[in-house]
Structure 1
Amino acid sequence: MQRSGLTTSTEDSWRRVVIEKPFGHDLESAQELNKIVEDVFPPDSIFRIDHYLGKETVQNLMAIRFGNAIFEPLWNRSFVDHVQITAAEDLGLEGRAGYYEEAGAVRDMLQNHLMQLFTLTAMEPPSAFDADAIRDEKVKVLRSVRRVTPQDVDSFAVRGQYGPGVVDGEPVPGYREEPGVQPESPTPTYVALKLQVDNWRWEGVPFFLRTGKRLPKKVTEIAVVFKRPPLGIFPGGMERNVLAFRIQPDEGVSLKFSSKSPGQEMVLREVVMDFRYDAFGAQLESPYSRLLLDAMLGDATLFPREDEVDLAWQLVSGLLQAWEGTPAPDFPNYPAGTWGPEAADALIGPDRRWRRL
């Protein structure tokens, strides 16, 4: 490409390259790929595409946080108990065994899609709504995350692989029974990870990320779970409030809170205030069409930067080092059509529970 002159911009033309995720296979390969690409293109002509960032509901996360005075003051360790980020799929491999056997859940979803949702949730307010300011804040978050070493992986992460089960009332095979998969494959189809952010905003607030195949339904959600009131004056206890961003499907935002149930007794009941994107009466734009237009316009706001990609690989390197080359723990360890291995419930802790979406 370089020898043919296709990479050279002129006064009246530009050249840009769009590279699909995953960007590299691990930290070393990502850095090598960056070097190769930057030897040919200047940094402002390189667009690393992650279609999750093109979703309207992902961009709406920034609008809700920074465009409303009622949310940002609560967005910190004083009020938030924990955050759950879920990207669940009900499908299996769909003919992609060759790719998935090499990638697994960590490379396919955790290192890119979930890390992007995590940084947008945890970042500080940018000084301006432009590419450099937003990406600077995302990088600061990744630098603040406590590293998970291979020796500590069992305390911070859970891996799983689905066996035979039932999805939408139909029997489905286990991962190792899928065409093209090795009979004793150690590839994880599920991963849950606990992240700790060591900064003033989030110290002590865990972020739980999970993704998996052959779960009960296809859904992506960010749930900000608030602390309980300091004094339980009502009988029956009180549940935590939850602000949930539904990335897909049924795109929207919901707020769960407690209200008195009608009657003589003071009994609290959970209710939900719900906003759905279809209230705008417009069809949501394809994420790829939005991102490709941005690339043609030279707007890099929704594209991960080189240092951001490197830091995301650093955060999952401990998992990859600990899990690859070691025997899988009793795979398969969750039936298709369930919400993953039981060990994931222990990861989130005795006083918390995963949202059943």
Structure 2
Amino acid sequence: MSTPTINPLRVGLRQERVITPQCLVIFGASGDLTHRKLIPALFQLFLQRRLPSDFAIIGCARRPWSDDEFRERMAQALKRETKNNTKGVTQFLEYLFYESVDLQQPEDLIKLGKRLEEIDRIKATHSNRTFYLSVSPKFYGSGCQALARAGLLNDPKRSRLVIEKPFGRDYGSAQALNQIVQSSCQESQVFRIDHYLGKETVQNILVMRFANAIFEPIWNRNYISSVQITAAETVGVEERAGYYESSGALRDMVQNHLTQMLAITAMEPPGHFDPEAIRNEKAKVLQAAHLANELEPWKCCVRGQYEKGGSRSKPLIGYRDEPGVNPTSTTETYVATKLFIDNWRWQGVPFYLRTGKRLAKRLSEVVLTFREAPVHLFDAAGGSPTSNQLILRIQPDEGAEFRFEVKSPGSGMRSRPVEMEFSYEESFGEPSDEGYVRLLADAMLGDPTLFTRNDEVEAAWRLYTPLLELIEDRPWQLPTYPYESRTWGPAESDALLSKDELLWRRP
């Protein structure tokens, strides 16, 4: 079917909030995240004219760079973003400064404080500061304490703290880190970032549900039979083997990205569109969620690890052959698990979550499958119809599609499924912003709506604690099954759904 007609929203008509004068301080400015995501996202905000003239970015790392060296390196990082816009890059680089800082050295924080005061005077940033911890997770706690001791977090109205994932390694460590963070500053100052929540299509789940009367009445156990949430990647671990070996797919993707998508999909309507009202409802969902089999958790989860595959012209090595990976590693690169949510709306509806590397296709999506019609009127005419599905495409083809039955042409009453689609790029004339663009802007604006609160983080870790304990204490009960690269994961994951007479969606 044809794409529904929607009035296009052009770039010039965007209704965006302008960021207030301030200084953004990025710790870990020499790292990969700053080069690949943060600086390009800030450049996009600059191009959208959302950065004020009274603004500064200070990169901080242990390397002894000068302001000019930092600007040159960031110019190189922006090459693919510029599209011959050298004038724009030159203007943007004027916002950038650099200070050599080791978060473990108190004298470096004192020196940073003085540099901030100097830049406040030069750029008129009014002492408004956002500190972004893009450092190794092991430095999150000590980094917060160092900033607090230096007096840089004292003013809750002028200072904010952004913390990257992963926030802890398990329930206990997340609790301990929360205690450190909350002893260093107020919860209202803390922005725990999950870049999936910055995606336009994740936020669109809320709009589709609560702005359309056709969806919310059927968004419950009476009409929906199951929900699948998928985040699939075609790449391997690439240069992240050191991190991935100590993390695995469960910690890296399921506990945060997929669980946040689950919370937004399953949450109750908030009383009003307010950051805390929305986060309250998300927290309630996570507190009501549990593994499908809490007594025998190995029966509701499948782990896998990719092996060699690909084609003769483009062969792909297995995970154990990747540089930096233990040749006998049992770290999972694939996870599929089944959950239930014990509340009035979702009682008895299974939620299936899966993620993996080196799968057949790159995609992230939420699939809601509706219950079958109560009477199959057309069985005798050519087989029962397929279940209706609402597919929310998070990436890469941002949009949504609804699959339903229609009559096939010709005599008789045979039916066939068709799709009605919506595409962000086709409908609005532009692709949606990368997640970090929205989240950086919101953090600097002090809007916590799309950031995870302390109780959300702890509830998410608590949900997967039985699986993490199994992996560490009794790994033989939750083994890693091999799967060929560029397939849809181990066969055992199909069995997880076949018990319920269901299949994974394989687009």
TM bucket, shorter chain: over 0.9
Residues 234-287 of structure 1, C-alpha deviations (whole Å, 9 max, x = no match): 131110100000000010010001111101121111100000001111331221
Structure 2 residue 275 is the aligned partner of structure 1 residue 131: yes
| 1:293 aligned to which of 415, 427, 441 | 441
| Aligned ranges 1:1-357 → 2 under 5 Å | 1-9=147-155, 14-147=158-291, 151-166=295-310, 170-234=314-378, 235-278=382-425, 279-327=427-475, 331-350=480-499, 351-357=501-507
Distance 1:77 1:167, change over 3 A: farther
> Following TM superposition, by how much is the alpha carbon of 1:167 offset from its aligned partner in structure 2, in angstroms?
6.8
Distance 1:282 1:143 in 2: 38
For residue 502 of structure 2, what is the amino acid of its counterpart?
R
Q: Tell me if structure 1 keeps the 8 A contact 2:316–2:485.
A: yes
Distance 1:319 1:228, change over 3 A: same
Distance 1:224 1:101, change over 3 A: same
> Following TM superposition, by how much is the alpha carbon of 1:311 offset from its aligned partner in structure 2, in angstroms?
0.3
Distance 1:356 1:147, change over 3 A: closer
Distance 1:153 1:14, change over 3 A: same
Higher relative contact order (CA 8 A, sep 6+): 1
Distance 1:321 1:233, change over 3 A: same
For residue 205 of structure 1, what is the amino acid of its counterpart?
V
Runs of 4+ in 1 over 6 A off after TM superposition: none
What TM-score comes out, normalization by structure 2 length?
0.68
Q: Tell me if structure 2 keeps the 8 A contact 1:85–1:210.
A: yes
Q: Tell me if structure 2 keeps the 8 A contact 1:151–1:322.
A: no
Secondary structure in 1 matching 2:421: strand
> Following TM superposition, by how much is the alpha carbon of 1:230 offset from its aligned partner in structure 2, in angstroms?
0.9
Distance 1:190 1:42 in 2: 37
For residue 437 of structure 2, what is the amino acid of its counterpart?
S
Q: Tell me if structure 1 keeps the 8 A contact 2:481–2:490.
A: no
Give % identity: 53
Farther off after superposition, 169-178 or 145-154: 145-154
Residues 184-238 of structure 1, C-alpha deviations (whole Å, 9 max, x = no match): 1010011011011111111111000000000011100000000110111213111
Gaps of 5+ in 1: none
Distance 1:243 1:150, change over 3 A: closer
Residues 126-161 of structure 1, C-alpha deviations (whole Å, 9 max, x = no match): 111111100110111111113567751222111111
Q: Tell me if structure 2 keeps the 8 A contact 1:47–1:300.
A: yes
> Following TM superposition, by how much is the alpha carbon of 1:170 offset from its aligned partner in structure 2, in angstroms?
2.4
Distance 1:187 1:135, change over 3 A: same
> Following TM superposition, by how much is the alpha carbon of 1:41 offset from its aligned partner in structure 2, in angstroms?
1.0
Distance 2:211 2:238 in 1: 40
What's the RMSD between the two structures over aligned residues? Answer: 1.6
Secondary structure in 2 matching 1:162: strand
> Following TM superposition, by how much is the alpha carbon of 1:8 offset from its aligned partner in structure 2, in angstroms?
1.6
Distance 2:357 2:211 in 1: 35
Distance 1:18 1:277 in 2: 29
For residue 495 of structure 2, what is the amino acid of its counterpart?
A
Residues 65-98 of structure 1, C-alpha deviations (whole Å, 9 max, x = no match): 0000000011111110100000000000111100
For residue 341 of structure 1, what is the amino acid of its counterpart?
P
Distance 2:385 2:471 in 1: 39
Distance 1:311 1:327 in 2: 24
Distance 1:166 1:66 in 2: 43
Farther off after superposition, 168-177 or 14-23: 168-177
Gaps of 5+ in 2: 1-146
Secondary structure in 1 matching 2:184: coil
Q: Tell me if structure 2 keeps the 8 A contact 1:254–1:275.
A: yes
User: How many residues are paired up?
Assistant: 355
Distance 1:150 1:66, change over 3 A: closer
Secondary structure in 2 matching 1:115: helix
